[in-house]
Structure 1
Amino acid sequence: MRAAVVRTFGGPEAVEVVETALPEPGARQVRIKVAASALNPVDAGVRAGAFGGAGRQIGLGWDVAGTVDATGVATAWNAGDAVVALDYGMAEPLGAHAEYVVVDTDAVAKAPATADAVHAATLPLNGLTAVQALDGLRLTPGDTLLVTGAAGAVGGYAVQLAAHRGVTVTGLARESDAELVRSLGAAHATTARAGAFDAVLDAAVLGETALAWVRDGGAYTGVIPQAQPASVRGVRTAAVEVSADGARLAELVRLVDEGVLTLRVAETFALDDAAKAHARLAQGGVRGRLVLVP
């Protein structure tokens, strides 16, 4: 089968599509025939060597939408089930940017009934990051939340999820994205902070700049693990490290089917054009996800 990998770090040209053996599922695992897999900034970080791993082959891709192809023992999934899953972390030697991927059974959820595989593939990593970050903020209805990078993939899901919970959301984004941010459920869209908020979800990775916009005793959550700024003024600071959670992913799928969450695709690329997709991501300005199709 074919898979996109890096064997040397660098720019988009470092991405290779190689022929490799078909992976076999072990106990409590399933093999998924990949129909689509989103490209995320973390993949660019892996490609560039930001997470280490020099001298070995590293698979790319965390998101997967497709069909269960084979199962190990002790799994409730069956061949033919349409599913989505998060293939967590740097994968050695393969990730989800491949024709097939093996994941743990408890990372899998039934695919949305109202979306095709290309759109469904944009949900696992960014949706789980957003919901797990919001959980850490422990907001209640009526609280105020600023989401930085509100027009992005994580930020957009965070806006929709928080608004659905009754939180009053302000989205920080470019002026050209203000209409989009409001359409996602933000009560306000701004290009600069206004007032002090009960909490900030810092999807744009502004760090201390965003921390200053939290009221005394409020809460801040970033999206890069272990990279949150130090606490000041009694503000509780944290950073989400996304985890694979099939049950939580199933809740997000339900919200997709209920029309609460919007799945946004910017462009699709063939798996063989993975390097071109990385080059497009590097250009910036993408609204929605780039998606690879084997």
Structure 2
Amino acid sequence: MRAAVVNAFGGPEVVEVVEAEVPEPGARQVRIKVAAAALNPVDAGVRAGVFGGAGKRIGLGWDVAGTVDAVGVGSAWTVGDQVVALDYGMVKPLGTHAEYVVVDTDAAAKAPVTVDAVHAATLPLNALTAVQALDRLELTPGQSLLVTGAAGAVGGYAVQLAAHRGIPVTGLAREADGELVRSLGATPAVDAAIGAGGFDAVLDAAVLGEPALAWVRDGGAYIGVIPQAQPGSVRGVRTGAVEVSADGRRLAELVRLVDEGVLTTRVAETFALDEATKAHARLAEGGVRGRLVLVP
């Protein structure tokens, strides 16, 4: 099968599409024939060597939508099931940017029925990150939330999830993205218009760090999206960062919200798997709204 990998760290040019053995599922695992797999900033980090692994062949891709085509002993899935899944892991020999991928049975959920596989592939990593970050904030209906990077993939899902929970949301984004942010359920804002200490909590999807911390009230909460990279606590503000985890049960809840119209999946552009280098170059250009998706 074909798979996108890196054998050396660097820019988009180091991404290679190589021939690899089709993986076999072990106990409580499933093999998915990949229909679509999103490209995320974490893949660029892996490609650049941010997470280590020098000297190894490293597979790319965390998100997958596709069809179960083989199951291991103890799997809850059946060949032919349409699923989405998160294949967590920074340094792994194969990722979801391939024709087949093996994941733990508990990492998968039934695919949405209201969107195609390309759109479904944008859900697992970004929506799970958003909902797990919101859970860490422990907000109750009526408390105020600022989401930075509200026009991005994680930020957009966080806005919609928080609004669905009855939490008033302000979305920090570029002025040009104001209408998009409003359509997701937040009051749009630019940083110059935000006063210090005005929010019960900040979900910092844009990874602003200390500037975002200043917008939290005394005794409030801040959550980032890069593990161990949150700013230190000041003014009694509780700080932390979410490290996303594969959770098929929670992913199934997010799928339900897609099918109910609560969550909006956004695709910026699709690329063939053989165009993985081109997709990485587009991601590096910035300004992407929605996700780039690879299709084998």
CA contact (8 A) 2:46 2:91 kept: no
Per the alignment, residue 61 of structure 1 pairs with 61
1:209 is displaced (CA, Å) by 0.3
- Inter-partner Cα distance in structure 1 for 2:183 and 2:173: 13
- Inter-partner Cα distance in structure 1 for 2:92 and 2:290: 27
Mapping 1:93-108, distance limit 5 Å: 93-108=93-108
CA contact (8 A) 2:34 2:100 kept: yes
Question: What letter matches 1:150 in structure 2?
Answer: A
Q: 5+ unaligned residues in a row in structure 1: which ranges?
A: none
Question: What letter matches 1:170 in structure 2?
Answer: T
Whether 1:238 and 2:237 are equivalent positions in the alignment is: no
SS in 1 for 2:77: coil
Per the alignment, residue 190 of structure 2 pairs with 191
1:156 is displaced (CA, Å) by 0.1
SS in 2 for 1:118: helix
Mapping 1:84-163, distance limit 5 Å: 84-163=84-163
Per the alignment, residue 43 of structure 2 pairs with 43
Whether 1:20 and 2:20 are equivalent positions in the alignment is: yes
SS in 1 for 2:157: helix
- Inter-partner Cα distance in structure 1 for 2:38 and 2:69: 20
Q: CA RMSD in A?
A: 0.6
Whether 1:218 and 2:220 are equivalent positions in the alignment is: yes
- Inter-partner Cα distance in structure 1 for 2:231 and 2:267: 32
Q: 5+ unaligned residues in a row in structure 2: which ranges?
A: none
Moved more, 189-198 or 167-176: 189-198
Question: What letter matches 1:253 in structure 2?
Answer: V
- Inter-partner Cα distance in structure 1 for 2:112 and 2:267: 15
- Inter-partner Cα distance in structure 1 for 2:188 and 2:141: 19
- Inter-partner Cα distance in structure 1 for 2:93 and 2:128: 24
CA contact (8 A) 2:53 2:91 kept: no
Question: What letter matches 1:288 in structure 2?
Answer: G
Per the alignment, residue 227 of structure 1 pairs with 229
- Inter-partner Cα distance in structure 1 for 2:44 and 2:91: 14
- Inter-partner Cα distance in structure 1 for 2:233 and 2:89: 28
Whether 1:164 and 2:127 are equivalent positions in the alignment is: no
- Inter-partner Cα distance in structure 2 for 1:14 and 1:223: 26
Identity percentage of aligned residues: 84
1:76 is displaced (CA, Å) by 1.2
Whether 1:280 and 2:282 are equivalent positions in the alignment is: yes
SS in 2 for 1:178: helix
Listed one character per residue, the Cα deviations across residues 76-106 of structure 1 (whole Å, up to 9, x for unaligned) are 1000000000000124210000000000000
- Inter-partner Cα distance in structure 1 for 2:291 and 2:99: 19
CA contact (8 A) 2:35 2:117 kept: yes
- When the two structures are superposed, what TM-score results if normalisation uses the length of structure 1? 0.99
Listed one character per residue, the Cα deviations across residues 258-279 of structure 1 (whole Å, up to 9, x for unaligned) are 0000000000000000000000
Moved more, 172-181 or 194-203: 194-203
Question: What letter matches 2:53 in structure 1?
Answer: G
1:140 is displaced (CA, Å) by 0.5
- Inter-partner Cα distance in structure 2 for 1:91 and 1:249: 23
**Where does structure 1 differ by over 3 angstroms across 4 or more consecutive aligned residues?**
none
Question: What letter matches 2:144 in structure 1?
Answer: T
- Inter-partner Cα distance in structure 2 for 1:76 and 1:46: 31
